[in-house]
Structure 1
Amino acid sequence: MTPVVKGIIILNVVFYIGTVFIAPGLYDTFALHFFEDPRFQIWQPITHMFMHDSANFLHILMNMYVLAIFGPPLERWMGNNKFIFFYLSSGIGAYLLTTGIDYYDYITWTNEAIEAGVTQAVVDQQLFGTISDPNFWGVMVGASGCTFGVLAGFAFLYPNVKLQILFIPFPIAAKWLIGAYFAYETIATLGITGVQDNIGHAAHVGGAIVGFIITWYWKRNSMDKYRWD
């Protein structure tokens, strides 16, 4: 395993153990809140990438598995420093797309409520009170945006590598398997599936888009010539 990938996995495990078993009170501090929420802190767009659902161990397990499998080839190609930039940028992309969608919903909901005669004070109380929607107002945690950036970068650099997954008896090229996964996440982000869940589909799409763009740009502009390490 490459050094940066190993370090990221260790950091995620430390955050998980620390906020789940040692100091649960820090979970709310490091998880990402909507920026209009009074619980929002400036460091949360970064720290949320290393946080995972305390009630779902598979959340961190699957993210770290994807990173361990697909991250090292990218790190070797990019170099350590560029991979760090790539990884964090994918996470920021996930945050920006999710927040952009949330902000649109926030403005729409607020305007509709005020036009219906609801006072601003009541609107503020309801937004952060008992009627809050967990899919909208719940905290954002996880490395999924980062790992989707890794998947997108891998599919771009190694499109014909055959991948074998459970329950499918034949290998599938990375470009088709990861591409299909991205297509599903895009459809889910648009709400076309009709499935209500607590998965940050927009974060997956945002991370994948940023990861793809960065990888495409670096490959197009002679990565080896401008390595940072």
Structure 2
Amino acid sequence: MSYVTYDEFETSRSPSAVYWLIGLCVAVYFVQATLVGDDNMARWLGYAPGDLASRSLWTVGTYMFVHGGLLHLLLNMWTLWLFGPRVERAWGASTFTWYYLWCGLGGWAFHYMFQPNGGILVGASAAILGVAVAYASRWPDDEVLFFGVVPMKVKWLVAFMALINITMTVLDSGSMGGTAYAAHFGGMMAGWLYLRAPNVGSLDRFRSRIAPAPDYGDEPPRAVPKSGRPRERERDTDDIVAQSKAAIARVRPSPKPQPQPATVATVAPAPSTALDAVLDKIAAEGIESLTQAERMMLDEWSKRLRELS
């Protein structure tokens, strides 16, 4: 199996927990192969059916760092390296380590319940299959090459491994020794329960749901216009000012006096300097800058101009 797709936003954080777990398993196997032998290491650190009665409780946790042979070790470490770094980068080293140990304890629990008369339990398979479940939950559509040949999405690969281990757990429940299928399935179930528990990974889910904040750079802040259509408002103001000045220009030439009865006298209103100041203020600052009195003056002059026209 190997990666064929990667996350678009990988972080540069080093998967230190994965390095430590692989290094610990390799160190235990080195001592096992060079000094104490497979049988002694399995007896000291692997979980045997009578360990709870004899109070050898440490074997519940240490079994996952012991392996039955070199091929067993290489297969498990390769699978951990395949799925572990990306999960650790997403969660952090501390959360990933606790999750790994939790899945290992889940594997022991299922082995204790469904294969109580089995042989000595060794290997990190339960914990690593729990890591595979976490990977499939977050990146289900990533592809791996099954047996290095067949491309398969991670979600289907994990589902296939779960089905195989469930089937073999049922068929192999009364056997002595052999592959610890119940422990494998227990590690996967422990991981599934962890991921479905309330409040687990809530911060991570929150970060994945929110969009990244845009980067506006170091530009100084700019004033926000009050109106949603400033250009049209400026155009309207200019039109008002132009029309008013044109109307006043028509009024300024005094018409020739016409003979009128002595009792009636019609005089065209002469523009005042106050009105000119209002019009200049509109042109410079906009019509919103007028006071109430200035607005009333502008309305009065508009009414007079309409009557004249």
Shorter chain as denominator, the TM-score bin is 0.7 to 0.9
Q: 2:140 corresponds to which letter in structure 1?
A: P
Deviation digits for residues 115-174 of structure 1 (CA, Å, limit 9, x no counterpart)? xxxxxxxxxxxxxxxxxxxxx3421000001011011111111100011123644x2111
* Aligned match of 2:65: 50
Name the CA shift for 1:139/1:39 in 2 (closer, same or farther; >3 Å). Answer: farther
Moved more, 183-192 or 76-85: 183-192
Question: Where do residues 164-175 of structure 1 align in structure 2 (5 Å cutoff)?
Answer: 164-166=145-147, 168-169=149-150, 171-175=151-155
For residue 26 of structure 1, report the CA deviation from its aligned partner. 3.9
Q: 1:87 corresponds to which letter in structure 2?
A: Y
Name the CA shift for 1:88/1:37 in 2 (closer, same or farther; >3 Å). Answer: closer
* Aligned match of 2:165: 185
* Aligned match of 1:109: none
Alignment partner of 1:157 out of 138, 154, 159: 138
Moved more, 160-169 or 77-86: 160-169
* Aligned match of 2:188: 208
Name the CA shift for 1:137/1:183 in 2 (closer, same or farther; >3 Å). Answer: closer
Deviation digits for residues 201-227 of structure 1 (CA, Å, limit 9, x no counterpart)? 00010000111222344666333679x
**Which has the bigger relative contact order, CA under 8 A and spacing at least 6?**
1
* Structure 1 counterpart SS, 2:123: coil
Deviation digits for residues 181-201 of structure 1 (CA, Å, limit 9, x no counterpart)? 1111111111189x9971100
Larger Rg: 2
Higher helix share: 1
For residue 87 of structure 1, report the CA deviation from its aligned partner. 0.2
For structure 2, the residue ranges without an aligned partner over 5 or more in a row are 1-13, 208-309
Question: Where do residues 26-41 of structure 1 align in structure 2 (5 Å cutoff)?
Answer: 26-35=41-50, 41=56
Matched-pair contact (CA < 8 Å) for 1:156–1:216: no
Deviation digits for residues 78-120 of structure 1 (CA, Å, limit 9, x no counterpart)? 11111110000000000001101234xxxxxxxxxxxxxxxxx
Name the CA shift for 1:33/1:58 in 2 (closer, same or farther; >3 Å). Answer: same
* Aligned match of 1:3: 16
1:87 is aligned to 2:100: yes
For residue 57 of structure 1, report the CA deviation from its aligned partner. 1.4
Question: Where do residues 53-202 of structure 1 align in structure 2 (5 Å cutoff)?
Answer: 53=68, 56-103=69-116, 136-166=117-147, 168-169=149-150, 171-191=151-171, 198-202=178-182
For structure 1, the residue ranges without an aligned partner over 5 or more in a row are 104-135
How high is the TM-score relative to the length of structure 2?
0.56
* Structure 2 counterpart SS, 1:164: strand
1:13 is aligned to 2:29: no
Provide the rounded CA distance (Å) in 1 between the counterparts of 2:120 and 2:42: 10
* Structure 2 counterpart SS, 1:172: strand
Work out the number of aligned pairs and report it: 191
